[in-house]
Amino acid sequence: MNLKKAFLVVLVVFGVIPFVACKEQEKKQVEVVEKTEKPNIVLLFVDDWGWADVGYRNSLFETPNIDKLKSDGIDFTRAYIPTPTCSPSRAAILTGKESIRMEMPRHISGNPEEEKYNFWPKDPVQMPSINYLPLEEITYAERLKEFGYYNAFIGKWHLGHEAHYPDQQGFDEVYGTTNSGHPKNYYFPFFKPKDDPKGFLKSGVKEGDYLTEVLTENATHFIKNYDKKEPFMLSFWYYTVHGPSIAKKDLLKKYQDKGMEGKYAHHGAMVEALDNSVGKVRKALEEKGIADNTVIILISDQGGAYSNLPLSGGKKGGNTLGEGGARVPFMMVIPGVTKAGTETSIPVQSLDLYPTLIEIASGKKCEDNWIQGKSLLPIVKEQKFDDRKLYFFRSYEDQYAAVIEGDWKLVKYHSGKFQLFNVAKDISEKNDLIGTGLEIEKTLKEAIVTWEKEAVPVYKK
C-alpha cells in the first residue's frame, strides 16, 4: 500500500468512527426517549368528598389548588360511583368491574380473616357482602406492571386485612394502609394498635401530627426521591374527609366564621387540608421536573355526609343513590392531551378509570372483556363516545338499585317503588315522573331487570 492510499484509508476509518459513534449516541437517545415517554400517573382518591364540596361550586369552601387542577384539565360534571360506599367504590375503581359482580354491595366490616361475608341489620333482603377483594380479581396495578410501571400505594385500602393488602394486588410499595375504614382521630395516635398491624402510622410520627399531612409528606417524598427507570403510578387514597370530622386546629375558626356550624365547620376545614395536599403533590411534581409528563386524576369515592345542595341525597339518610350520594367530583389532567378548562356532562363512572389507565400506560386500546368500565380517552380527545346505560347497586335499605341513560335516571326499591327523574333538567330530583306515560320509564325498567339477572349474584337461603 502506497502512502497516499494508506492516508485515504486512515481518513475513511477516522471518518467512520465519529459517524458510528454519532449513530450509537442517537440510538441511545432514542432508547432513553422510549423509556421515559410513558407518563407517570398520580391518582388522588378522596373519601366522602361531596360534589358540592369544592370552591368552584360552593363559596363556603376554599380550594384554590383543586380549582386550578380543574381549570388545567377536564372536569367530568356527571361522574358517578356504581356502588357509592367505601369498599365497593374501591373495588370498582381498582378492577373496572361493578362491585356487585364481586359480591360486594356493602362496605367490609367485621374480621375478614374469620368471616367471608357480612350482613347489615337493616338490609330488608339480608344480602351477603364479601369481606375482602378476592385475590383473583385483576387490578389496574397488576395490569400496569405489564407495561413496565412501578406501583406505589399510600393510604386507605378497606378491601381486606393483611392477607388482602395492596402488596398482594400488584403494588410494589405500600404506606399507611390499615385494617380500618377510617381513623379514630385525625391527630396522632390515628388508629388503635390492632388496626395498624404493619405499624405504618406508629413510627416516625408524633403527638400533634395530622393524618392528612403525614400521608401527603410520604406522597411528596416518594415523588421527589423516585429514581427508577420505569414510570410510576402513585395511588394516593385519602382517609379524609371521612369522619370523624376533626379539623386542623389552625383552619377551623375560618369556617366557623363563615357560618358553618358544628361538625360541618370541621368538614370545611378538612376539605381545605385536602386542597393543601393536592397543591403539595403538584408542587412536588413540578420541583422534580416531571409535571409535564405526569397524569393527575382527582376523584371521590362517594357523595358527602353533609349538605350536597343543589343535589338531593348523600352518604346518609336512605337516598345514597340520589345525585348527592352517587355523583362525585372528578377531574383529570393529561399533559399534551387534555385541553385546559374543558368540561363534559357525559355520564361516566369511576370504573371507567381502569381501561383509561391501561390505555394511557400502553398506548393501545384496552381489550379486557371482563370489565364494565369504558375508556374515557375518546371523551378527553373529543372523539365519538357511544351512549350506554350506567347501573348502580347497594344493599343497606329499601332503595337499592338505579340506572342512568343520558339525562334520565330510574331508581328502584326493594318494596317495589320506582322513581324517574330527568337529572339534566331537574338536578335536585324534585319532580318524580314515574307513571306519567313516558316511554323511557318502560325502557329503563326493562333494562334494570335484565341487568339484575346478569350481574347480581343469587344466594340460596
With a cut of 80, say whether residue 401 has pLDDT above it. yes
Beta bridge partners of 46: 300
pLDDT in the model for residue 35: 43
Q: β-strands 348-349, 79-80: how paired?
A: parallel
The CA-atom distances, in angstroms, between 168 and each of 137, 141, 449 are 11, 10, 36
Instruction: Name every residue whose Cβ is closer than 8 Å to that of residue 408 and which is 6 or more positions away in sequence.
Output: 420, 421, 422, 423, 440, 444
Q: β-strands 408-413, 418-422: how paired?
A: antiparallel
With a cut of 70, say whether residue 24 has pLDDT above it. no
Query: 333 with 352: CB under 8 angstroms?
Result: no
With a cut of 70, say whether residue 13 has pLDDT above it. no
pLDDT in the model for residue 460: 66
Residue range 337-362: average pLDDT?
Answer: 97
- Read off the C-alpha cell for 293: 409528563
With a cut of 60, say whether residue 299 has pLDDT above it. yes
Q: CATH 3.40.720.10 region(s) of the chain?
A: 38-381
Query: 348 with 326: CB under 8 angstroms?
Result: no
Question: What are 225-284's pLDDT values in tens digits?
Answer: 999 999 999 999 999 999 999 999 999 999 999 999 999 999 999 999 999 999 999 999
What CATH superfamily is the domain 38-381?
Alkaline Phosphatase, subunit A (3.40.720.10)
Domain 399-455 has CATH 3.40.50.2000: no
Residue predicted with more confidence, 162 or 7: 162
Question: What are 420-455's pLDDT values in tens digits?
Answer: 999 999 999 999 999 999 999 999 999 999 999 999
Whole-angstrom Cα distance, residue 171 to residue 156? 14
Instruction: Name every residue whose Cβ is closer than 8 Å to that of residue 300 and which is 6 or more positions away in sequence.
Output: 45, 46, 47, 48, 49, 50, 51, 81, 328, 329, 330
With a cut of 50, say whether residue 25 has pLDDT above it. no
Sheet of 74-76: strands edge to edge? 173-175, 150-155, 232-237, 40-46, 294-300, 330-333, 74-76, 342-344
Residue predicted with more confidence, 323 or 24: 323
Q: Torsion-angle region of residue 148: left (phi > 0), alpha (psi -120 to 50) or beta?
A: left
pLDDT in the model for residue 28: 40
Residue range 48-62: average pLDDT?
Answer: 97
Q: CATH 3.30.1120.10 region(s) of the chain?
A: 399-455
